Chains A and B, each alone.
Chain A
């Protein structure tokens, strides 16, 4: 029975018994397994998924002050050296085959969001052409969960066409791709690869709330 590592695609030289394979949470070889360290959700910040922060962390409190809501983002893994290694090879070197690295964990967590519209954050047209793929969609595709790209990055018109007031406001980088009515009263789950400041997620969430979304939550692969 030929089983391949979900990450590097090499044959899994069986150090696992059949029983272990059945009950394992992942399908990674010895080397790739070490790349991913799961965040314990029970002790993570309820706003951004930062590990070891039982209540809302400082950053999230600031967001709440500034924008009036909390992201409720969940993060799967620590953004440590291992994860960085995976994402560099996947996103920056461009090895599309690595997209299945944690498909089992991702599929499982998405079961908790069945009534949500699942929406991956989009890339700019340029970045998509250069990379050849959207790294979030690459991972999602293998979960077989249905998703929809509700947002697109708006190509910003030249600065000279904006008034000073418009230019000073923080730019909303996204636009809806679907009519407002499809968003109204809906629960939406935004998905991105890494949560750094949360800025992008918050922009997206603001736009959705402005168009009548009932609740917007986030899911990132790493924090």
Chain B
């Protein structure tokens, strides 16, 4: 396996590839002095953070480990990849609408540079890419599939490994580093900071998810990691107008993959809901509704905030001690394990914040949004959350319930 094409600090080379001798590597200074500070060569931000010892560091890309003005980034020149045969295994079938887009996408690669695949949640965006990925790999191209969220990266990695069993696919993010070279990389956007002018094709999944949406640093990371002449594909169920206008070519897929419409959310009014919630309690009729849904399916319960979520979890544990429930939120270390357990059916009820609003698949779930009028539930968020219901497998009478005391514009 060739040496990685990543540009890394000496300490990173020692940690990830201790057998490599940097004597033969190219190097550039990690930071460059400029007018109002020091420019970070890894992320492009200018730093004014000077340390007492007299050097500067970059606070903007600390997630990858501290880079400072005394260090260097070392790298090796990129090798060409020979054309080869690639095996794609996939037991499903594309619907006519999906197939059409899949073929168009492939044909358009030589005439356009940026693409948007606008598809409803669960429409099978990933499968639509398989033929294009196969052809690109056969042409010796380097591909990066990236997403702002770790959960989404993990899921994509699994699906690609299944579909392309003979390919070397890497997974890089803050919590894991499965290194299989740099030909086919699945990673969080931060990891792209380690590549410069490298990928022929970059696919960005869940492009409007936080934190990518508001960060110029992450936008720059994608631009720099992709080859100037490379192509870019955005995947999203709720793309902003700006994105729709700026791409060369866009494709819209309205129907869900298994051709059943999204369950229409039902509004469930609870007039003094906030009063109960502030006491950490749930109104009786809400509790009854939860029990009803649990009899038919497993349930995902979305809460607007972490403090509320913990209170409600306790409330439900007291009232329904037999229900196997768990909670998941951004600060939770065991988040990924719990998601796996829920997926396997080991829990009946999963309470969560908006962190799970997109990208994750469960079989046979109904969805409840508690206090749907809360400001964290934007229109886009509610659409994505509703998409979690009835995601996979045989039709299972899943319902989507918005519990609220008032109707808001997003609702």
Contacts and interface: CB of A to CB of B under 8 A. Distances in A.
Given A31-B331, A132-B68, A96 B53 contact: no
Contacts of A118: none
Interface in B236-275: none
Interface string A118-161: 00000000001101111001100000000000000000000000
B331 A97 contact: no
B66 A133 contact: no
A95 B59 contact: yes
A94 interface: yes
Interface in A66-111: 93-97
B57 A96 contact: yes
A131 B331 CA distance: 27
B387 to A, nearest CB: 28
A138 B51 CA distance: 10
Contacts of A95: 59, 62, 66
Contact of B53 (A93, A97, A128): A128
Interface residues of A, number: 14
A129 B62 contact: no
Contacts of A138: 52
A96 B52 CA distance: 10
B65 interface: yes
Contacts of B68: 132
Contacts of A96: 49, 51, 57
Given A31-B331, A97-B59, A132 B51 contact: yes
Contacts of A31: 331
B55 interface: yes
A128 B52 CA distance: 9
A92 to B, nearest CB: 9
B89 to A, nearest CB: 41
A94 B62 CA distance: 9
A139 to B, nearest CB: 12
Contact of A93 (B51, B52, B55, B62): B62
Interface residues of B, number: 12
B59 A133 contact: no
A68 B331 CA distance: 46
Given A31-B331, A93-B65, A95-B62, A134 B52 contact: yes
B331 A132 contact: no
Which of A93, A94, A131 has the most chain B CB within a 10 Å cutoff? A94
Given A31-B331, A95-B59, A97-B59, A129 B66 contact: no
B146 to A, nearest CB: 23
A31 B329 CA distance: 13
B53 A133 contact: yes
A93 B49 CA distance: 15
A132 B52 contact: yes
A128 B51 CA distance: 10
Contacts of A129: 53
Interface string B24-61: 00000000000000000000000001011101010100
A97 B55 CA distance: 14
Contacts of B55: 132
Given A96-B49, A137-B52, A132 B57 contact: yes
B47 to A, nearest CB: 11
Interface of A: 31, 93-97, 128-129, 131-134, 137-138
23 contacts: A31-B331, A93-B62, A93-B65, A93-B66, A94-B66, A95-B59, A95-B66, A96-B49, A96-B51, A96-B57, A97-B49, A97-B59, A131-B53, A132-B51, A132-B52, A132-B55, A132-B57, A132-B68, A133-B51, A133-B52, A133-B53, A137-B52, A138-B52
Interface of B: 49, 51-53, 55, 57, 59, 62, 65-66, 68, 331
Given A94-B57, A134-B52, A137-B52, 16 more contacts: A93-B62, A93-B66, A94-B66, A95-B59, A96-B51, A96-B57, A97-B49, A97-B59, A129-B53, A131-B53, A132-B55, A132-B57, A132-B68, A133-B52, A133-B53, A138-B52
